[in-house]
Amino acid sequence: MALIYGGNKVALVDEALARAFQPGDSVFVDPQGKILHIPKQERERAEEAVGRAERAFSAMREVSDAAISRFFLAFAARLEDPKVWAEIERVNAEDVRAATARGRSTTRLAVSEALRRGMMEGLRGWAEFPATRGQIVETVDHGSFKAELIRAELGVVAFVFEGRPNVVADATGVLRGGNTVVFRIGRDALGTAKAILAGAAFPALREAGLPEGAVSLVDSEAHASGWALFQDTRLALAVARGSGPAVATLGALAQSAGVPVSLHGTGGAWMVVGPEVDPARVTQNVFDSLDRKVCNTLNTICVPKVSAATLVPAFLEGLKRAAARRNTEYKLHVSEESVSAVPKELFEREVPIARAEGEVREKQAEMLAPDQLGREWEWENSPEVTLRLVDSLDEAIDLFNAQSPHFVACLLSDSPEAQEHFYRRVDAPFVGDGFTRWVDGQYALKKPELGLANWQNGRLLGRGGILTGDSVYSIRTRVTGTASGKPR
């Protein structure tokens, strides 16, 4: 059977899908032409979870801001409880073992004391954060009457993510504004997330007197449950975090149903170096941008040809130190026309590189096609970066605008004029003057971050690229003074 998608494209149903399809099931063709099969039972699981969250949202209108603060404090207190955390660690160890056996990355899956502290700090931060629900944003006074723009709750917010269990705590930040949340969590982190919910989040809801469904879970390992969730028209916002292709598919599903989306997938930060920069500064900023692999980790660096003799070694030193910090080796990709700037022995030397499937031996440096500068390196433990030499700042900007995911762009330069020129010309939502890892809600805004959005598919309407709990709201308009009729 032929299925038309994208207006003028055709996807063919194969025999396996035809045999598996049952009455009540549905299919969707994603942007890559892959046919997604959504079984009836997975849709029902998603619909049930959204139903709980929708009912809770209606009840949240009667919940005080003080009660919401009590929820965050109770959630944090339970995470601090040694018995609760010991159970979370036990379940997480099982998740990590299972993910490792499947050859999956566990960099973001494994819990730690630092992750625990981060979750608690974020929750307590939301407890102290001023309530903005009901806040008057603007007043227009007409004399005999006035119009007020008032911040209001948005509705049910859905999150789909794979291997980061701490998102369970971070995303409850949307409750600060009177919203509710429903999760669909990937197989890798599902056990850990359920332990966090059962041991800390759900008891905190009861203790604070919030409706039970204010935090809901689609309890399924199947990807189809996430696909069904994002097609539920009762959602006020669908937030996807994960790999680029998976996020693109989820976004297409939500948009096909008319559900607003906030997509956080493809990343990879770029750093451009000015010719006058102190090599020691390059080394330090590269080192600081490679502490672990997340979306704002340094991915591509552009170094001026005129200073390559001093700045490329400085870059390599920072890369080497970043690898040594993790007790491993680094991996370097060198754009084809820049190979001569890198020591030849790096292309010949084989080193152990830590991959999701385990340690493998690879050439430390490899040549990369000139049109592949925007490829994001999803490294496990061994820092992985692309190097490109450029003739000028404008060439670096042009390369960024043409090949990057339009995400993070940082310029190392002592010239205020160069910094201003860079800011004006580079097409990125996040622009800095040093290390790349500053692009983080907790670091830059002192708020738990729910995701970072790039401009790969266009700029965002009316909000910044950092999604936080207090940026999920609507505006109501209220007029008073019109009871006597329209003025003549």
Q: Are residues 309 and 367 in the same domain?
A: yes
User: Can you read off the two tokens belonging to residue 448?
Assistant: 């738990």
**Reduced to 3 states, what is the DSSP secondary structure of residue 49?**
helix
- Give the span between the Cα atoms of 468 and 324, in whole angstroms: 34
- Strand duo 2-5 + 9-12: pairing: antiparallel
In the predicted structure, residue 362 carries a pLDDT above the cut 70: yes
* Long-range CB contact pairs, 241-247, < 8 A, 24+: 241/159, 241/160, 241/161, 241/162, 241/164, 241/167, 241/265, 241/451, 242/160, 242/161, 242/162, 242/186, 243/162, 243/378, 244/376, 244/405, 245/32, 246/162
Tokens of 91: 């379940």
486: region left, alpha or beta (phi > 0 left; psi from -120 to 50 alpha): beta
Q: Which residues constitute the domain of residue 19?
A: 2-38
Q: Are the C-beta atoms of residues 149 and 477 closer than 8 Å to each other?
A: yes
- Residue 246 pLDDT greater than 70, yes or no: yes
- For residue 123, give the 3-state DSSP assignment: helix
% of the chain exceeding 90 in pLDDT: 70
Residue 185 corresponds to which tokens in the numbers above? 């969590």
DSSP reduced 3-state for 367: strand
Q: Is residue 190 part of a domain?
A: yes
Best CA proximity match to 268, nearest among 166, 148, 383, 363: 383
Do 246 and 301 reside in the same domain of the chain? no
**Residue 2: which pLDDT band, with cuts at 50, 70 and 90?**
confident
262: tokens are: 């906030």
What's the structural domain count of the chain? 3
Lowest mean pLDDT among 235-239, 263-267, 420-424: 263-267
Examine the domain organization and report whether 173 and 94 are in the same domain. yes
Are 124 and 31 in the same domain? Answer: no
Task: Between 15 and 46, name the one with better pLDDT.
Answer: 46
Query: Which residue did the predictor score with more confidence, 474 or 356?
Result: 474
Q: Which among 238, 355, 366, 244 has a CA at the least distance from the CA of 295?
A: 244
Give the three-state DSSP class for 118.
helix
The pLDDT assigned to 483 comes to 82
Do 76 and 14 lie in one domain? The reply is no
Does a structural domain hold residue 82? yes
The answer on pLDDT for 256 being more than 80 is: yes
How far apart CA 240 and CA 226 sit, in angstroms, is 10
pLDDT tens for each residue of 407-461: 999 999 999 999 999 999 999 999 999 999 998 877 888 877 788 888 887 788 7
433: in domain: yes
| Residues β-bridged to residue 146 | 141, 480
Mean pLDDT of 120-146: 92
Regarding whether 137 and 20 lie in a shared domain, the answer is no
Taking residues 304-319, what's their average pLDDT? 98
Q: Is residue 91 predicted with pLDDT exceeding 90? A: yes
Which residues is 62 bridged to in the sheet?
Answer: none
At residue 9, the 3 state secondary structure works out as strand
Would the pLDDT of 342 be above 90? yes
Residue 409's beta-bridge partner residues?
Answer: 270, 431
Helices (H), 209-343: 223-229, 244-256, 279-288, 308-325
For position 397, what pLDDT does the model report? 98
Neighbours of 233 (CB within 10 A): 9
83 lies in the same domain as 180: yes
Q: Residue 251 domain-assigned? A: yes
Are 67 and 33 in the same domain? no
Check residue 117 and give its pLDDT.
94
Report, as an integer, the average pLDDT of 215-230. 94
Output the six-digit token pair for 249.
């598919």
Cα 396 to Cα 274: distance, rounded to the nearest angstrom: 10
Please report whether residue 487 resides in a domain. Answer: no
Judge whether 449 lies within some domain: no
363 membership: H or E segment, kind and range: strand 358-363
pLDDT of 326 above 80: yes
Entry pTM = 0.86
Q: What is the three-class DSSP state of 297?
A: coil
Q: Which two tokens stand for residue 235?
A: 């959602």
The pLDDT of residue 425? 98
Give yes or no: residues 30 and 91 share one domain: no
Three-state DSSP state, 364:
coil
Pairwise CA distance, residues 135 & 142, whole Å: 20
- My answer on whether 337 and 397 are in the same domain is yes
pLDDT in tens, 72-85: 999 999 999 999 99
Residue 330: phi, psi to the nearest 5? -100, 165
Among the listed residues 147, 119, 311, 285, the one whose alpha carbon sits nearest the alpha carbon of residue 204:
119
Maximum C-alpha span of the chain = 86
What is the DSSP track for 172-237? GGGGGGT-EEEEEE-HHHHHHHHHHIIIIIHHHHHHHT--GGGEEE-----HHHHHHHTT-TT-SE
**Structural contact between residues 447 and 471, judged by C-beta atoms closer than 8 angstroms:** no
Measured distance CA(200)–CA(192) in Å, rounded: 12
The mean per-residue pLDDT over the stretch 336-357 comes to 93
- For residues 245 and 274, membership in a common domain is answered with no
C-alpha to C-alpha distances, 189 to 99, 192, 450, nearest whole angstrom: 9, 5, 17
User: SS3 for 366?
Assistant: strand
Mean pLDDT value across the chain: 92
Residues in a beta bridge with 349 = none
Q: Do 252 and 280 fall within a single domain?
A: no
- Going by pLDDT thresholds of 50, 70 and 90, the confidence category of residue 487 is low
Predicted local distance difference test score (pLDDT) of residue 488: 63
Whether residue 453 is contained in a domain is answered as no
Of 118-122, 205-209, 389-393, give the lowest mean pLDDT range. Answer: 118-122
For residue 374, the domain's CATH number is: 3.40.309.10
pLDDT at 11 over 90: no
Q: Is residue 174 part of a domain?
A: yes
Q: What is the CATH number of the domain that holds 222?
A: 3.40.605.10
| Contacts for 394 with CB less than 8 Å, ≥ 6 apart | 425
